[in-house]
Structure 1
């Protein structure tokens, strides 16, 4: 086995993860930065007057008020994670190794072979997976926002 055969090794998914992070982390940073800038400065000043440490200020003020921004970043990250197909397709082709074969590859291959029954079943599976993930995150976040 070739030592530099990254496509057929377990390291192939690491390349995809690094590419996803490189592509999307700056957007998340901008969203968090804007969320931090929307927190009124008076809360931080009051916290400092009460003698809170930096960790306490972050835990009880910043993190609590960043929960809506965290929800948006998390939702966008999940949706964007399903949009890495074109990068994987460009790197590894239509039939990559099983380590990086995604649901989108299956859907694309079924579309190209005009197998609409399997394509529609896969599309419904993707819809359900996304719906379940987003629903769980929404419910957890909504429960957390009730305490604000």
Structure 2
């Protein structure tokens, strides 16, 4: 039996920008690693895409964060900004809904960086692999900057 689906062995950059170590993300909940492994991206743009093909498993009511799970059980949480839940969705627009299948590179969320910054928040995009994921974030790219679709995290 042939299986045309490739297994998820990498998480692609969901947005272009400067890569920052998780420990340097300006939020102790993320930087401590308690929410899982990953990194932050200081964005150069305002559109987030799916880092692999899978199913949207969570969309926050405030539209600033999305969870995606691949067919082979890899989970990723993409969280736009720090404390942006306080914005109650202002400046955010999710382009997907829970339960929706998405393809790698498909746009899933748009946001207004200026509104985030004007509200006094960091616009860093945090890419996390929760402890419940079937694979762990093994190695974050050493590139200082990524383009959308570059390999961001190699998985164990």
Same fold (TM over 0.5): no
Taking structure 1 as the reference length, what is the TM-score of the superposition? Answer: 0.25
The structure with more helix, counted as a fraction of residues: 1
TM-score (norm 2): 0.24
Q: Which has the higher strand share?
A: 2
Larger radius of gyration: 1
